[in-house]
């Protein structure tokens, strides 16, 4: 039977949402919101260190890397750019706990439906799958999503706009369907059930694969999969930032003054960073790298500063686990403490005498993430990694063409500022960034294809989320 399970706050550690934002566009500064539910991103994040009981916390050593020759375009007969028709898709098999069942057949395949990052990230951070494998005698299979990690349809060539039409959830799901079908035949395990796992966008893919390929996936566990957030269903477009704000309140265990002091800091940035003198003071107080811009670029710089600070609050909210974790650094170096929003909010707990004292505390609030190493001298508000820029570009394409999740904020029910969602602004951004004309801008795709959150048509899908993620 169909099952919807709303987990308690403690189980938020098994889930997370991932939001990729493109922050610094001069004309359209409104973030390109990806998944409510970020790279984040998963299905079942838990403390792998507990599971491995003192062994080195790297479960990849129990897995073997494999490659599968995959079709670039499953649906059209035309030859893709560069004359290529196939690419090598990466996946990992972890069979330490794979056993025969009482009937003599092999145990189930627990399949991670890859999403918007390299596959190793999910192997290391999908604790529920590792915990379930020995209990059910299951094999773990982690597949990488096309265009991310090393599964590159056009190799290491520079990303070109002509490549982007081959990046879609339909193509990715068909990749997984082909991979799983081939795997079962080669391993001679036609009777072994496959259960899909995914979080955020991966959770959407897991649920959609169960809907579209029920003969391949016997069931799915979709964690923080924002099906109800797809365009055309939810009238409350401010809900995402209301949850981020809730994490900065006593309800989530944070200091009572944190929410108001954080909003006060944003107001200081907005009001002061638009003048040369104020901008210089904001930058020095927040310990930002670089000098103030010329007067004609002050407003743009103010937007960049506040959006940089905004994203940090999301990392804390998305990484609101009851144990320390490096997941929100997306494969980079760093680690957040348990309940990171609570810890960051301790800096914002006092009743500050001036807005500058408050902003100085906000710098420490930011440093919990941006100076996790303890070695950073100043904060760079621009993306430094070309790879990060490319991933943002990839995700922006998907958000514009099929995974459209409208998100805004009002500065009243959240701790930020008024920036309501407007579809015309997003349509303009998608045209600006990807040359998407109105007929190619598809905000209703997700709802039209899979009925959004109208799930009474489907079966054997478990949806889980925590109150704080």
Q: Rounded to two decimals, what is the model's pTM?
A: 0.84
Concatenated DSSP letters for 390-444?
HHHHHHHHHHHHT------EESSSSSS-EE---HHHHHHHHHHHH---GGG--TT
- Integer angstrom CA distances of residue 463 from 43, 213, 385, 411: 10, 18, 34, 30
First to last CA, the chain: 26
What's the pLDDT tens digit per position in 178-208? 999 999 999 999 999 999 999 999 999 999 9
- Integer angstrom CA distances of residue 467 from 37, 411, 453: 12, 21, 18
C-alpha span between 183 and 459 (Å, rounded): 24
Torsion (CA) 145, 151, 157, 163 in degrees, nearest 10: -40
Lowest-pLDDT choice from 209-213, 342-346, 430-434, 444-448: 444-448
What's the pLDDT tens digit per position in 293-319? 999 999 999 999 999 999 999 999 999
Query: How many other β-carbons are positioned within 10 Å of the β-carbon of residue 23?
Result: 20
Torsion (CA) 71, 77, 82, 87 in degrees, nearest 10: 0
pLDDT confidence bin for 8, thresholds 50/70/90: very low
Q: What is the pLDDT of residue 29?
A: 30
């Amino acid at each position: 039977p169909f099952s919807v399970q709303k987990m308690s706050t403690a189980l938020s550690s098994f889930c997370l949402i991932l939001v990729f934002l493109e922050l610094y566009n001069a004309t359209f500064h409104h973030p390109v919101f990806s998944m409510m539910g970020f790279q984040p991103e998963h299905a079942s994040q838990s403390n792998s260190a507990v599971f491995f009981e003192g062994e080195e916390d790297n479960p990849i050593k129990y897995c073997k890397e494999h490659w599968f020759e995959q079709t670039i375009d499953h649906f059209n007969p035309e030859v893709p750019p560069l004359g290529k028709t196939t690419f090598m898709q990466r996946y990992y098999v972890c069979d330490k706990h794979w056993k025969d069942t009482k009937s003599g057949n092999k145990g189930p395949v627990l399949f991670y439906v890859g999403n918007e990052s390299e596959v190793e990230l999910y192997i290391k951070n999908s604790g529920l799958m590792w915990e379930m494998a020995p209990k059910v005698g299951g094999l773990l299979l982690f597949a990488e999503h096309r265009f991310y990690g090393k599964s590159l349809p056009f190799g290491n060539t520079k990303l070109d706009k002509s490549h982007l039409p081959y990046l879609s959830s339909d193509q990715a799901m068909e990749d997984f369907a082909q991979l799983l079908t081939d795997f079962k035949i080669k391993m001679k395990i036609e009777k072994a059930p496959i259960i899909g796992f995914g979080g955020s966008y991966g959770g959407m893919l897991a649920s959609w694969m169960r809907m579209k390929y029920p003969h391949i996936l016997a069931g799915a566990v979709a964690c923080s999969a924002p099906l109800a957030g797809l365009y055309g269903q939810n009238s409350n477009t401010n809900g995402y930032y209301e949850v981020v704000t809730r994490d900065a309140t006593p309800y989530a265990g944070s200091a009572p003054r944190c929410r108001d002091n954080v909003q006060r800091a944003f107001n200081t940035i907005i009001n002061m960073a638009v003048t040369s003198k104020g901008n210089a003071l904001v930058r020095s107080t927040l310990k930002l790298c670089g000098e103030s811009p010329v007067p004609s670029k002050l407003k743009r710089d103010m937007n960049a500063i506040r959006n940089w600070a905004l994203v940090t609050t999301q990392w804390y909210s998305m990484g609101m686990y009851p144990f320390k974790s490096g997941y929100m650094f997306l494969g980079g170096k760093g680690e957040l403490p348990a309940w990171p929003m609570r810890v960051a909010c301790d800096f914002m707990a006092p009743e500050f005498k001036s807005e500058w004292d408050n902003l100085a505390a906000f710098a420490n609030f930011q440093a919990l993430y941006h100076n996790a190493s303890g070695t950073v001298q100043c904060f760079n508000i621009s993306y430094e990694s070309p790879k990060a820029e490319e991933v943002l570009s990839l995700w922006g394409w998907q958000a514009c063409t099929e995974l459209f999740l409208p998100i805004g904020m009002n500065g009243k029910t959240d701790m930020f500022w008024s920036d309501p969602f407007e579809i015309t602004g997003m349509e303009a951004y998608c045209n600006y960034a990807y040359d998407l004309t109105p007929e190619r801008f598809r905000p209703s795709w997700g709802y039209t294809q899979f009925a959004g959150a109208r799930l009474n048509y489907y079966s054997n899908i478990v949806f889980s989320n925590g109150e704080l993620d």
